[in-house]
Copies of this chain bind each other. A is one copy, B any other.
Amino acid sequence: MAFVWYRMSIMSLVVQKFGGSSVGTVEKIALVARRVAERRKTGVGLVVVVSAMQGDTDRLLQMAHEAAKIPDPRETDQLLATGEQVSAALLAITLKGMGIPACSMTGAQLRLRTDGIFSKARIVSMDTERVHALLDAGNVIVATGFQGVDAEGNLTTLGRGGSDTSAVAIAAALRADECEIYTDVLGVYTADPRVCPDARKLDTISFEEMMEMASQGSKVLQIRSVELAMNHKMPVRVRSTFSDDPGTLVCPEEDCENIERLVVCGVSHNKDEAKITLRSVEDRPGVAAKIFAALAAAQINVDVIIQNVAHDGRTDLSFTVGRSDIAQSEEIVQGLLNAVGAVGMDVDDTIAKVSVVGVGMRAHAGVAAKMFQALCAAGINIQLITTSEIKVTCVINREQVGDAVRALHGAFGLGG
């Protein structure tokens, strides 16, 4: 008996995450339960992380906004955390009804500790003792995604899409063998198939590439979850709830399949950002720091930042922010215009970003040049350019984003 016990303790362990559309109704939850049951037959230990039922979070948020113009963040988190508690309990009820031992656990019960930044909390630690004990006893653990608990016991949420991050964090804390993210697409594509009909599904992609794809608008995985997976070297498999296709494995670069990789693995785009430009800022130390510190304090994520060489001690400073943060960003920047000696501010809400991503470009020169040529040939003007080691991003007119993605997908030979 003791032997069996220990053997179970070292069985392989998989964390599976199902999003809101996969658990949108009791019937869909039954499909998920069957999938979990099938997998359990292989003898693997399972932790299933669920999002709230589709529409539930919006329904709750709407009530919060009816209750107060600006709903208190702590209380909104107390409210929203119920969404995953409902779906987790329903999945556990379904599994137990099928004769499978299961136990739903909230963020507090998982002891998934976060910081105290309501609505955008970051995971600090997880106490795995009770989860391991329940797993060893043969239970499927059904964990609530998206939420944790701060040092004082307040419920916190990780922000929209935080369930991916929860799943990876739980997988890392439990030292799981793999984290599977179930979604409504077959995996990670070379470009958004809705924009680019000849986009191909990738079998593997490196953490670094996935992170750039995610940061540049690929909605398959939350960037925070990829970052976390990379830090913990936790392989993440993106796959479809409704198919047996193995999906795409996001893993360390050395584990990626193609020995002779393409220079570029994908083209991503993002239409949810806006561009803010401070005109004729004084070119002295501390100007950028002042602006971006103020934005960071308001929890606003800034993406592309461009500042070109100065003329006559003055320069233009441009950056992009998420469209939902425009109003707040505008207010903050407006308040700082005098302090940084700017003569004015422009907000452009008609932009899009398009990026080519690939670890291969570390060893291959000319990727940027090829990109600019392809965009030029398609008649697309480039407003801003920014590069990283494995990515080149251009800000263009939003109306041209589809043409840009297709042109780049073709130019880099990504087609099926």
Which residues of A come within 8 Å of B, CB atoms? 26, 29-30, 60, 63-64, 66-72, 74-76, 78-79, 81-82, 85-86, 88-90, 92-94, 96-98, 102-104, 106, 108-109, 130, 153-155
B82 close to A96 (CB less than 8 A): no
Q: Which of B63, B103, B108 is close to A90, meaning CB atoms less than 8 Å apart? A: B63
Q: Say yes or no: A72 contacts B86, CB within 8 Å.
A: no
When C-beta atoms are compared, the residue in chain B nearest to A74 turns out to be B103
| Number of copies of chain A assembled together | 2
Whether A90 and B64, one on each chain, are in contact in the complex, defined by CB atoms closer than 8 angstroms, is yes
Check A85–B90 contact: CB distance below 8 A.
Answer: no
Residues from chain B with Cβ under 8 Å of A109 in the complex: 153-154
Q: Least Cβ distance of A389 to chain B in Å?
A: 44
How distant is A101 from chain B, measured CB to nearest CB, in Å? Answer: 10
CB of A299 to closest CB in B, whole Å: 19
A-B contact pairs, 14 of them (CB 8 A): A26-B63, A68-B97, A68-B98, A71-B93, A71-B97, A72-B93, A75-B89, A75-B92, A75-B96, A76-B93, A78-B104, A82-B89, A108-B153, A130-B153
Q: How far is it, in angstroms, between the C-alpha of A102 and the C-alpha of B71 when the chains are bound? A: 12
A127 to chain B, nearest CB (A): 11
B-side contacts of A63, CB under 8 Å? 26, 86, 90
Tell me which of B68, B93, B98 contacts A64 (CB under 8 A): B93
- Judged by DSSP, the binding face of A is helix
Q: Name which residue of chain B comes closest to A59, CB basis.
A: B86
Q: Which residues of B contact A85 (CB under 8 A)?
A: 78-79, 81-82, 85
Beyond known contacts A69-B97, A78-B106, A81-B85: 11 more, CB 8 A cutoff: A68-B94, A68-B96, A68-B97, A72-B93, A72-B96, A75-B104, A79-B85, A79-B89, A79-B93, A82-B85, A82-B86
Given contacts A67-B26, A90-B63, contact A97 B78 (CB under 8 A): no
